[in-house]
Amino acid sequence: MAQEQDTQHALLIPWGHFAREIGLVSGIAAVKLSQKVYEHTPQAKVIEFLAAILSGAKQLQDISMAAHPMDKDQAVAEAWGQAGWADYTGVSRTLKHLSWTEVQALVAVLERVSQPFLESELAVLRSRGRGLQYDGDLTGLPVSNTSRTYPNAAYGHMSDEIRLGYQAGVLSFQSPTYGRLWLAVEHHAGDTVSCTQAEGLVLAAEKRSGQHPKRRTELLQKRIEAFVKSREPAEKRLSSQQATLAAAEQAKVEILVQLRTAQEKPETKPKHIQTLERRCVRREKAVEVARKKLSKTQAWMNAHLEQEKALRTRLEQFECENTENPQPVEACFRLDAGFGTYDNIALLIEMGYEVYVKLHNHKIVHRLKKNVTPETAWVRVGNNAEMVAWAGMQLQNCPYPLDIALERFYTGETQKHSALAYFGNSPVTTDLPAWFGKYNARQTIEAGIKETKQVFYLNRLKVRSEPAIYLQEAMTIFAANFIRWATTWIEQHAEQNENTLSVGKLGIKKQVQVGANTSAKVIQNSEGMLLRFSSASAFAGKQLFFRASGKPSRPNHFLPLFTILALIAQKVR
C-alpha cells in the first residue's frame, strides 16, 4: 500500500535520500558527541542544522518559527533518516556545547563525503590534459559592533567598512562538471588580513587535491645565492662598525685615565679638568653612536641570516617533495590584491604555480603611471577598461621578474588604476584582453561568496559558540557543493518526460529559496517514490519519479537509491 505524506520543503526530500546514499547521514551519526540524549541525539540535531542551511534558513529559529516550520515536516525528517526533528532550541543547545575536537570530526565527515566527487573531477581534468585552477579569498562575517557575546570577534575590514566579527578564508576549484566547487574554509578573527593567508590557502588546496606542481627549486637556489651575495656590503659595514666601536671605546678609556690622573694631581688647573670632562662626554657619545649603528647592522644581519635559514629549509623541503612527486600537475592560483605581496608571489612561484594576482603595493601603480606617455598605446580589454603591459619587469624587493600590466578603468568621470602581475609560461603581454579576462574570471569565487551570503545566509551567524560558527562556515560551503552534486544525481535518476521538473535549469538560488520551500505530496510504496508538486506551488503540474533499488555497493559514488518507475505515475494518477 502506498504511503502518502505532505511536505512544505519539497526538494529537501530527494536531497535527504541523496545524503543517505553518499554516506553523509551515517557519517555524521557515527561521530562521537559527548552530550546527553533525550528525545533526539546530538548527531540528529547536527543533521537538522545542515538541512536548515540547505533550506535557506536565515536564522536558527526559522526551524520552528517559520511560516512552514521544518521541524513539523515529518516527510523531510524521514527522508533524512530521522524519526523526527528537534525544536530549534534543542539544536541551539547542541551546537553551543560542541567542542573544537567534535566540530573538526564533523568537518572531517564533510570532507570525506566530498572526496570522491573531487577525485572524479581531478580524473576528468587529467584525461583532458588540463591543469588545476584555484581561487582564494578572505570574506568578512560581521556581527553587531555593540555585541559582546561573540568570542574572539575582532574589528577588521569587511565590505569596505571597519566591522566587528570574523573572517573566513575560502578556497574554490574550477570543476569541469559542476563549475565552482568549494575545497576548504578556515575560520579567523576579524582583524586577520589577506596577506597572511596565501600560504594557508595553497597548502589547503594541496591537502584536499592530494596533488601539487613541481617545485621550482632551481629558482629558489638562485634566489638563495643572490640573497647571500646581497649581504656582502652589510658584512663589510659590520666589520667596519666593530672596528669603529672598538676605537671609540679605547679613546673613552684613554680620556678617563687622563681625567683621573689630572684629578689626582693637586697642581692641575680646574680649567684643564673641565676640558677633560667635556672630552669624556664626547667620547661617551661617540661610543653610544657607534654602538647603536653596530646594533642596527647586527639586527639586520640576524634577520637576514634567519631569512636565509628559512629559505634553505624551504629548498630542502621542496627538493624532498619533488622526489616524492613523480607525476606533478600544472596548477594556477588567482588572488586579489590583498594577497599580492612580493613574499606571497615569490612563495607561489617557488611552489610551482602559475600566478595571476593584483599587486598589493599601491606605490607600483604610481611608478607605472610615470612610464606612460601620451604616445603609449593602450589596449581596450573591456567596456570601460584599458591595459598596457611590460614583460619580465624586475620590481624592487621582488626576487623574480614578473609580467606587469597597468589597468585603467572609467567609472563615470572618475578614472582608477591598478597593477596586475603574472608569472608563468603564457605570453600574456601579447594578448592583453585574454590576460584581463583570465584574471577577472576569478569573479567566480566572488560570486560564490555572494551565494553563501545571499542564498545560505552565512553572514547571518546562527550560533555564538566559535566552534559552532566554524561548523556553520564548513556546512555552508558543503551545502553549495552538495546541491550541485544532488542536481546531477536527480537528473540522472528521475524520469524525463514533459511533467518532470528540470532541476538543473533552476539554479542554486531558486532550488533553495523556492524548491526547498514549496509544497508537494510524497507518495511511496515498495516499488519507489513519487514527488508531486502541489497545485499551490511554484512548480504546479511538475513531479519527480524514482524507483526503489537495492543497497548501493559503493555508497560514496553516484549509485541509484531510486530509479524511474513509470508504473507509479500510472497508479497515482
**Is the full-model pTM beyond 0.75?**
yes
| Domain contains 212 | no
pLDDT at position 300 is 95
C-alpha cell at 208: 584536499
Specify the amino acid at residue 246.
A
CA 537 to chain centre: 37
Q: 296 and 370: one domain?
A: no
Residue 517 lies in a domain: no
Dihedral (CA of 90, 93, 98, 104) sign:
positive
Task: State whether 296 and 373 are in the same domain.
Answer: no
Among the candidates 424, 441, 458, a domain finishes at: 441
Shared domain for 235 and 305, answered yes or no, is yes
In a domain, 95, yes or no: no
- Residue 362 shares a structural domain with residue 310: no
CA separation for the pair 388, 245 (Å, rounded)? 52
pLDDT value of position 561? 35
Report the candidate in 128, 180, 193, 129 with the shortest Cα–Cα distance to residue 442.
180
**What is the H or E stretch that residue 392 is in?**
strand 385-393
Tell me whether residue 241 is in a domain.
Answer: yes
Domain co-membership, 422 together with 380? yes
Per-residue cell: 248: 671609540
Residue 412, by phi and psi: left (phi above 0), alpha (psi -120 to 50) or beta?
Answer: left
Contact 180, 174 (CB under 8 A): yes
3-state secondary structure 278-316: HHHHHHHHHHHHHHHHHHHHHHHHHHHHHHHHHHHHHHH
Residues 63, 101 contacting (CB under 8 angstroms): no
Domain count, the chain: 2
> Which position has the grid cell 669624556?
280
Give, for 369, the enclosing helix (H) or strand (E): helix 363-370
Q: What is the pLDDT of residue 549?
A: 66
The residue among 376, 409, 441 that closes a domain is 441
The C-alpha atoms of residue 87 and residue 153 are separated, in whole angstroms, by 28
Residue at 360 is within a domain: yes
Three cell numbers written together for 127: 584525461
C-alpha–C-alpha distance, residues 556 and 117, integer Å:
9
Q: Are residues 303 and 238 in the same domain?
A: yes
Place of cell 603574472: 422
Retrieve residue 152's grid coordinates.
Answer: 574572539
- In this prediction, residue 571 carries a pLDDT of 35
* Burial (0-12, 13-18, 19+ Cβ within 10 Å), 493: buried
Please, what is the Cα angle at 515 between 514 and 517, to 5 degrees? Answer: 65
Greatest Cα pair distance, the chain, in angstroms, is: 130
Is residue 39, in this structure, part of any structural domain at all? Answer: no
258 assigned to some structural domain: yes
Considering the domain architecture, whether residues 316 and 365 belong to the same structural domain is answered as no
Residues 226 and 287 in one domain: yes
Q: Which domain holds residue 433?
A: 355-441
3-state SS assignment for residue 388 = strand
Q: Is residue 472 part of a domain?
A: no
> Same domain, yes or no, for 388 and 306?
no
Q: End of a domain among 374, 406, 441?
A: 441
Residues counted in the chain:
573
The pLDDT, as a whole number, for residue 160 is 84
Same domain, residue pair 318 and 363: no
362 and 312 assigned to the same domain: no
Q: CA-to-CA distance for 451 and 445, rounded, in angstroms? A: 9
- What Cα–Cα distance (Å) separates residue 552 from each residue in 109, 492, 548? 19, 15, 11
Closest by Cα among 363, 348, 529, 475 to 422: 348
Whether residue 361 sits in one domain with residue 308:
no
Q: Return the ∠ at Cα 160 (arms to 157 and 162), rounded to 5°.
A: 40
Q: Could you tell me the mean pLDDT of each successive run of 10 residues in the chain, 573 residues long? A: 89 96 97 93 97 97 96 96 96 97 98 96 94 96 93 92 96 94 96 95 96 97 96 95 96 93 89 93 96 96 96 97 95 96 97 97 92 92 94 94 94 88 96 96 95 96 96 98 96 89 94 96 88 93 81 34 34 35
